[in-house]
Chain A
């Protein structure tokens, strides 16, 4: 069945076509962003960096970028700290409702984005959190938490607890044991979780669309409105920046995770 050369050749052609289908839409924004023209014509007839100049100087784009970066940093810190604490606690405890709590931590991943968005919008409207930094931080933290707990739980599952007992028997306090024994060992998992948390917040569109106000927009929301309402090639530069940031961080996350496996 593996044999037939005709079959192999057909499959190889299909593989190439699928590769083009997956790669081209991902990378086309890069040459487009260096177009010297004010249109989406491809291939561009002239080249330039004017779209980057606009992106980094025009108020609405720059503000959106800064909002997204600040938000992602805050969410990363909050979600990583809370998620690591929770993963640690859940890995060390056995109680009756544990299955339910585990499910709670995975739920934001499973529930469709639009459902999360509408539910949060309805509630946040009543609580005065729409268009506020707090609203964005808590919403993105909810979405980012699962990535932290999943990664830290995975790191803790291969953890040899005799190391902790050894430290404790030598007189280390619980906190000292955690800081100087447990944390260094699970650090790759924590780091991977943090990177995923950052990208989750930085890339999030649907929930942010509902929580935004004219005064507070994230970069993906600004991009979304740009695609729907205007023909502004600046979005090509924005896409390239987002692409580079999120791909670099996810790559880093996958490297840290691989290191952990080998360690």
Chain B
């Protein structure tokens, strides 16, 4: 990239003095010169990210033959349909598990003292802080037949259970990776809930369960929706953990795409699957952005960190 940028800068620079209007001349010139500083980074992103993405899109509608065959195959080909449905199912399970754990956990964060809140927050941020590869390897060790999880389960009289290569094992490992992405938005929303509303419901005679269901739960919904969508999105494209903890026979979408590319050299099919995944991702994230903009929760930062993690 170092090679491609200097000529561009040089070719643009001469046009500037002419195009700057006399009155604001000094400032306009400086602003334009400043803008040129963004050119190298933009060139790198366009050449090595946007162009490859567009090429993949092109490949998906031209290989092996022109048309939308690769896209219709996603839903008509039995193997690929199985993988898509399995991925959706897996993502749904992980999302539900995360919500069931994260909701009470986030609630706990709102009722404890400041120091304990800091501890709970630090614990939930651990996945952001540590290497994904190291953690996934740890899960492989923990979940093996004679691993720590089975030892603990055996001590309470359960098992031994087969975890490695099963849906249960993948769920436990994936949900652990995803948990922060639900806890953070849910906690942010809960922190903003005015407790007097719940107290008002209680003082008017509502039972605690009713007050929770009709007042607190709806008010916390934006955080829940944001967190659930993030986990859903991240789970759909998750590669590392399902590949290592799961089994090749139960592969998820990202593994399936990888096999299409590396073993079958089928860029058309892989491209179509990748584009479909991207579209679903963007639609879901766009939905969250709309939702959080209108309700005023902040969670997109989580989405940002996520891309790098998974």
A binding-site residues for B, Cβ under 8 Å: 1-2, 4, 8, 11-12, 14-15, 18-19, 21-26, 28-29, 32, 40-42, 78, 82-83, 85-86, 88-90, 92-93, 95, 101, 104-124, 138-139, 141-143, 145-147, 149-150, 174, 200, 203-206, 209-210, 220, 223-224, 227-228, 235-236, 239-240, 242-243, 246-247, 250-251
Report chain B residues within 8 Å CB of A11.
104, 107-108, 111
Choose the segment among B10-18, B66-74, B267-275 that binds chain A (4+ C-beta atoms closer than 8 Å): B267-275
Partner of B237, one of A106, A107, A114: A114
Beyond A18-B123, A22-B124, A118-B261, whether A227 also contacts B244 by CB under 8 A is yes
The interface residues of chain A lying within 8 Å CB-to-CB of B111 are 2, 8, 11
Identify which of residues 117-142 in chain B touch chain A, using a CB-to-CB cut-off of 8 Å.
120, 123-124, 126-142
The answer to whether A26 touches B138, judged by C-beta atoms less than 8 angstroms apart, is: yes
Q: Given A25-B176, A224-B240, is A145 in contact with B52 using a C-beta cutoff of 8 Å?
A: no
User: For residue A150, which residues in chain B have a CB less than 8 angstroms away from its CB?
Assistant: 304
Q: Which of B43-51, B76-84, B153-161, B290-298 contacts A (4 or more CB under 8 A)?
A: B43-51
Shortest C-beta distance, B245 to chain A (Å), equals 9
Question: Which one of B29-37, B88-96, B218-226 contacts A?
Answer: B29-37
Contacts of A119 in B (CB 8 A): 49, 52-53, 55-56, 274
Contact B55 A123 (CB under 8 A): yes
Please provide the 5 A-B residue pairs with the shortest distance between their CB atoms, ordered closest to farther.
Answer: A112-B237, A123-B52, A109-B307, A239-B134, A86-B41
Contact of A26 among B135, B239, B303 (CB under 8 A): B135
- Is B42 engaged at the interface, CB distance under 8 Å to the other chain? yes
* Interface residue range, chain B: 35 or more
Say if the beta carbon of B1 comes within 8 Å of chain A: yes
Cα separation A250 to B305 with both chains bound (whole Å): 12
Residue of A nearest to B202 (CB): A1
Interface residues of B (CB under 8 A from A): 1, 30-31, 33-38, 40-42, 44-46, 48-53, 55-56, 59, 101, 104-105, 107-108, 111, 120, 123-124, 126-142, 144, 146-148, 173, 176, 179, 195, 198-199, 202, 208, 211-212, 216, 233, 236-237, 239-240, 243-244, 253-254, 257-258, 261-262, 267, 270-271, 274-275, 277-278, 281-282, 285, 303-308, 310
Per a CB cutoff under 8 Å, which of A14, A83, A121 touches B261?
Answer: A121
Give B55's nearest chain A residue, CB to CB: A123
Q: Shortest Cβ distance from B290 into chain A, in angstroms?
A: 15
Closest residue to A92 on the B side, CB-wise? B34
Let me know if A203 and B37 touch, CB within 8 A.
no
Chain A's closest residue to B40 (CB) is: A82
Cβ of B194 to closest chain A Cβ, rounded Å: 12
| A23 vs B127: C-alpha distance when bound (angstroms) | 9
A227 touches B304 (CB 8 A): no
Chain B contacts of A22 at CB under 8 A? 123-124, 126-127, 176, 179
Residue from the list B42, B51, B130 in contact with A86, Cβ < 8 A: B42
Contact of B129 among A93, A95, A220, A247 (CB under 8 A): A247
Q: List 8 A-B contacts (CB under 8 A).
A: A108-B45, A110-B285, A118-B56, A122-B267, A138-B1, A147-B308, A174-B33, A250-B128
Contact across chains for A242 and B134 when beta carbons are under 8 A apart = yes
Q: Given contacts A12-B108, A104-B50, A227-B244, is CB(A1)–CB(B138) below 8 Å? A: no
- The CA-CA distance from A118 to B308 in the complex, in Å, is 16
